[in-house]
């Protein structure tokens, strides 16, 4: 069955849907040249069909056959047989040695490590354990798939033992399909109809992808967990998921609802120190391990965002975590206890010293050393919530006697939701390479979470991935680079993001120099580009935190209890987090770091507004004022996003049509939405501060024609909220849900020539309106609103920054005096909303 799945994946690769990700095993142009140099036999030592070693042998044979068109025979043996011809030996070090193989010169390996020797006629892929063998096989195939047949031999060991994926899948919520919170790639691959899916083929395919990048466990359900996960039918289903994971060395874990004993009606309390509660959790854990002997452990979110936890009973977080740790200890299981703990009900922006960023250190203060050894504190990379830039969480420096793991969000919740290209590893590296200077000694975060800095045995990396049933897994082909890179960095956080990216490009697309250079340059620019047109100087992402976490809405950050405040007013902006005058957050860092952030002159510009409340006219280290930097950065970011579609277009003949068109669609959308972002943020702060843009760009758009100023029939003006997401604060909507609206204008002030016609409109999730553009009654373009379905971002039922978008019709010949008309046909209760039209000379963006 396993071989059937593997070879089936090869056939699917022809369609180039993205299902195979970086495991395409595409035929190399140099295949014929290299054909004779490759092994012809694969010898698999001492394995069963469900073991990772067996999988490793199958993968090697499949990969060589697909990449080079060379069939390899596969043999299985309990003893080592010296090869007559070039052979790949696949097994563990122990299996190899016990069957007569020589291990002299092979360095000692750590758990999950491997030895790869391609320097002789016998290729050796030997793991410290069975999972390590599989990792070595994928490493070998990665080299071959990139055309690397170098004669090399080396050992590779993981940086940390915890390399987990967190899925936020729900048993229900997506109709018959299980939904995925913050998932932009479709419904759950694990759940449907309130239970585990009967067909788990996609779960097996996912495990294969993850194993190829060294991921060793997946938590399959949402951190906002459901107590039903611990019922017998669901646990039986979880066993089936674990069974399809096992051949790939991927263990299964689950998120827990802390109050499960009470929620299931089996106890009247969930107090972690109550004897009956303790016994209940021990019994439930025993039941899980009877079904899943290699169960990885529990992920727990407690006392945050309305979730119950130990604080409900005035117990400490350590007492809560230890409840589960002791139940898992007999089996070697791990508790991943999230540090995302804060009390929004008691945060008040009017109190100058209130600060959500302080919460993690405050809640864990005094608890270091009180956790059981199998507890790992899972800490978000920044103290708020996966923003476009945050300082490193100071909690890492406070956990010296307790293992910790860094939580990174692969799914782009606040960062464009896979509709905007944002390659995340450069962001992650700012945190992983940050030096906490604990006790004035080098204390890089990557050394802390690996356990090396404080001599801990556990620790590592947790990535929130949230894949779905979309064949591209994350909904976007280019976003898959983030999943790939997470695994690579979890294995070795010293790797360079650009080098990881280029490996991924070669494996996912091809090694054509233009493909490599184009995708590398766009991806490496993407994070600073997105930061520029969303939120910069450490002010956070400036998205709508009260609704979809997607489009622009800076006003939503303040005047609420969620604590992602900017404290912006007419004169000043930023959070004062100093010790001497602010919330004291800077003082949570070790002294050498604290003094840097305490002083405005030594705080990096890119975090200025995170740590300091300053006037808009405050000069940065660059010499610019804060407000002028905002204006310039937002224009620069949106301008660079405009280049992405044309740069991608240079690859048209170098990438298969399906993936080429799907990526182009997203990059074109991003270019339009970046202008929505640019204007929404600049207009907001211009109107708040009343400080003009020195370049005269903000609220000055000479190429725009506002829809509300056109001749309207069946359309009527509509005041948009928030006002800054519509040009002039006003759009037009049809007068009824059955009326076709038209907006027309005579182009009397234009010079005859060739123009791009851009239309900004609102694509709501409550209908599929139809728009048509006419020039002198001749149709020049039309479209149906469906971007929320096509793109997969969080949909919006409103006329707002989430639904705002743009479509452009290039190269239109226009004569002075021509009449431009747009007809909008509503659908359902979506009233075909229009914002404005731009008549753009070549090379101009407005």
* CATH code of 41's domain: 3.30.379.10
Q: How confident is the model at residue 487 (pLDDT cuts 50, 70, 90)?
A: very high
279 vs 463: CA distance, rounded Å: 32
147 vs 168: CA distance, rounded Å: 37
- 294/430 same-domain check: yes
- 208/144 same-domain check: no
- CA-nearest of 317, 227, 325 to 282 is 325
Strand-pair category, 403-409 with 191-192 = unpaired
Does residue 599 lie in a domain region?
no
- 124/244 same-domain check: no
Question: By the 8 A CB rule, do 64 and 17 touch?
Answer: no
Q: How many structural domains does the chain have?
A: 4
Does residue 171 lie in a domain region?
yes
| Residues 295-353 pLDDT 10s | 999 999 999 988 999 999 999 999 999 999 999 999 999 999 999 999 888 899 999 99
Does residue 502 lie in a domain region?
no
Residue entry with tokens 């490599």: 516
- 687/713 same-domain check: no
Residue entry with tokens 């709508």: 544
Specify the pTM: 0.96
Does residue 550 lie in a domain region?
yes
Q: Provide the CATH number for the domain around residue 310.
A: 3.20.20.80
347 vs 387: CA distance, rounded Å: 19
Q: Spell out a b/e string for 598-615, using b for 16 or more CB atoms within 10 Å of the CB, else e.
A: beeeebbebbbbbbbbbe
| Residues 192-214 pLDDT 10s | 999 999 999 999 999 999 999 99
4-8, 245-249, 638-642, 810-814: range with lowest mean pLDDT:
4-8
- 194/313 same-domain check: yes
pLDDT for 174:
64
pLDDT for 1:
29
115 vs 101: CA distance, rounded Å: 14
Does residue 352 lie in a domain region?
yes
Residue 818, pLDDT > 90, answer yes
- 145/216 same-domain check: no
Residue 302: HSE in the Cβ half-sphere, 13 Å Cα cutoff: 33
Domain's final residue, options 451, 469, 495: 495
**Phi, psi for residue 358 in degrees, rounded to 5:** -75, -15
| Residues 786-816 pLDDT 10s | 876 788 899 999 999 999 999 999 999 999 9
816 vs 828: CA distance, rounded Å: 37
pLDDT for 38:
83
- 708/678 same-domain check: no
Residue 119, pLDDT > 90, answer no
Question: By the 8 A CB rule, do 125 and 90 touch?
Answer: yes
Q: Provide the CATH number for the domain around residue 728.
A: 2.60.120.260
167 vs 240: CA distance, rounded Å: 17
Q: How confident is the model at residue 29 (pLDDT cuts 50, 70, 90)?
A: confident
Residue 13, pLDDT > 60, answer no
Token representation of residue 664? 């182009």
Cβ–Cβ contacts within 10 Å for residue 20, how many?
Answer: 22
Give me the domain span that covers residue 17: 2-156
Residue 3, pLDDT > 70, answer no
Domain's final residue, options 131, 156, 181: 156
Does residue 605 lie in a domain region?
no
Does residue 581 lie in a domain region?
no
- 10/78 same-domain check: yes
- 740/678 same-domain check: no
Residue 569: HSE in the Cβ half-sphere, 13 Å Cα cutoff: 10
Q: Provide the CATH number for the domain around residue 682.
A: 3.90.1330.10
- 137/107 same-domain check: yes
- Name which residue leads in pLDDT, 507 or 178: 507
pLDDT for 478:
98
Known catalytic residues are 305, 385, 413
Does residue 591 lie in a domain region?
no
- 68/97 same-domain check: yes
pLDDT for 2:
34
Whether the link from the prior residue into 191 is cis, omega within 30° of 0, is no
- 147/189 same-domain check: no
Domain's final residue, options 94, 123, 156: 156
DSSP 154-179: EEE--S-SEEEEE--EEEEEETTEEE
């Amino acid at each position: 069955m396993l071989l059937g799945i593997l070879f089936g994946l090869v056939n699917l690769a022809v369609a180039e849907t993205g299902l195979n990700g970086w495991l395409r095993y595409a035929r190399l142009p140099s295949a014929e040249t290299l054909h004779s140099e490759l092994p012809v036999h694969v010898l698999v030592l001492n394995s069963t069909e469900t073991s990772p070693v067996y999988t490793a042998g199958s993968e090697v044979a499949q990969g060589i056959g697909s990449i080079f068109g060379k069939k390899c025979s596969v043999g299985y043996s309990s003893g080592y047989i010296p090869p007559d011809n070039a052979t790949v030996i696949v097994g563990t070090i122990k299996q190899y040695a016990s069957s007569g193989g020589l291990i002299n010169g092979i360095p000692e390996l750590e758990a999950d490590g491997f030895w790869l020797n391609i320097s002789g006629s016998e290729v050796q892929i030997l793991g410290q354990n069975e999972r390590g063998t599989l990792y070595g096989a994928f490493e070998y195939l990665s080299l071959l798939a990139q055309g690397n047949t170098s004669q090399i031999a080396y050992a590779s060991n993981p940086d940390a033992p915890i390399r987990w994926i967190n899925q936020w899948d729900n048993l229900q919520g997506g109709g018959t399909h299980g939904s995925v919170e913050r998932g932009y790639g479709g419904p759950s691959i694990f759940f449907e109809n309130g239970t585990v899916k009967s067909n788990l083929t996609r779960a097996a395919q996912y495990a294969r992808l993850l194993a190829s990048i060294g991921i060793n466990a997946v938590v399959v359900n949402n951190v906002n967990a459901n107590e039903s996960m611990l019922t017998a039918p669901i646990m039986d289903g979880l066993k089936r998921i674990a069974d399809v994971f096992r051949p790939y060395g991927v263990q299964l874990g689950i998120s827990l609802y802390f109050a499960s004993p009470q929620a299931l009606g089996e106890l009247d309390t969930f107090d972690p120190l109550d004897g009956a509660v303790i016994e209940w959790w021990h019994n439930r854990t025993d039941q899980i391990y009877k079904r899943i002997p290699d169960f990885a452990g529990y992920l727990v979110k407690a006392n945050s965002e309305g979730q119950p936890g130990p604080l409900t009973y005035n117990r400490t977080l350590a007492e809560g975590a230890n409840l589960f740790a002791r139940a898992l200890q007999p089996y070697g299981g791990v508790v991943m206890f999230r540090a995302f703990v804060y009390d929004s009900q008691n945060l008040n922006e009017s109190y100058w010293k209130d600060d959500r960023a302080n919460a993690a250190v405050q809640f864990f203060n005094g608890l270091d050393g009180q956790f059981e050894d199998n507890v790992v504190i899972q800490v978000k990379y920044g103290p708020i919530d996966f923003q476009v830039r945050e300082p490193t969480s100071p909690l890492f420096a406070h956990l010296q006697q307790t293992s910790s793991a860094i939580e990174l969000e692969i799914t782009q919740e606040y960062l464009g939701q896979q509709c905007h290209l944002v390659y995340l590893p450069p962001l992650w590296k700012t945190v992983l390479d940050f030096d906490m200077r604990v006790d004035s000694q080098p204390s890089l975060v990557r050394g802390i979470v690996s356990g090396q800095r404080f001599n801990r045995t556990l620790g590592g990396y947790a990535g929130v991935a949230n894949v779905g049933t979309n064949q591209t897994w994350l909904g976007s082909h280019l976003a898959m680079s983030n999943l790939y890179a997470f695994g690579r960095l979890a294995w070795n956080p010293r790797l360079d993001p650009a080098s990881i990216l280029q490996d991924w490009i070669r494996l996912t697309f091809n090694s054509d120099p233009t493909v490599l250079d184009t995708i590398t340059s766009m991806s490496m620019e993407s994070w600073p580009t997105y930061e520029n047109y969303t939120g910069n100087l450490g002010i956070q992402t400036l998205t709508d935190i009260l609704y979809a976490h997607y489009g622009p809405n800076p006003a939503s950050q303040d005047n609420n209890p969620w604590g992602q405040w900017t404290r912006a007013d007419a004169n000043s902006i930023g959070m004062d987090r100093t010790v001497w005058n602010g919330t004291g957050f800077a003082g949570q860092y070790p002294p050498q770091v604290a003094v840097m952030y305490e002083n405005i002159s030594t705080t990096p510009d890119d975090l200025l507004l995170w740590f300091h409340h300053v006037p808009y006219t405050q000069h940065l280290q660059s010499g610019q004022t804060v407000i002028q930097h905002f204006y310039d950065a937002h224009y620069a970011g949106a301008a660079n996003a405009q280049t992405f579609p044309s740069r991608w277009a240079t690859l048209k003949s170098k990438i298969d049509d399906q993936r080429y068109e799907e990526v182009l669609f997203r990059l074109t959308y991003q270019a339009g939405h970046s202008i929505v972002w640019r204007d929404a943020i600049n207009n907001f702060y211009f109107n708040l501060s009343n400080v003009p843009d020195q370049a005269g760009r903000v609220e000055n758009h000479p190429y725009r024609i506002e829809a509300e100023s056109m001749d309207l029939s069946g359309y009527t003006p509509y005041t948009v909220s928030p006002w800054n997401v519509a040009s002039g604060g006003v759009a037009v909507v049809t007068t009824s849900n059955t009326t076709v609206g038209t907006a027309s204008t005579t182009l009397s002030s234009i010079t005859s020539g060739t123009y791009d016609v851009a239309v900004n409109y609102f694509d709501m999730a409550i209908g599929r309106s139809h728009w048509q553009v006419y020039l002198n009654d001749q149709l020049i373009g039309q479209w149906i609103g469906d971007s929320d379905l096509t793109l997969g971002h969080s949909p919006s039922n409103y006329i707002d920054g989430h639904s705002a978008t743009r479509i452009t019709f290039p190269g239109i010949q226009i004569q002075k005096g021509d009449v431009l008309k747009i007809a909008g046909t509503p659908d359902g209760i979506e009233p075909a909303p229009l914002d404005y039209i731009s008549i753009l000379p070549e090379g101009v963006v407005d």
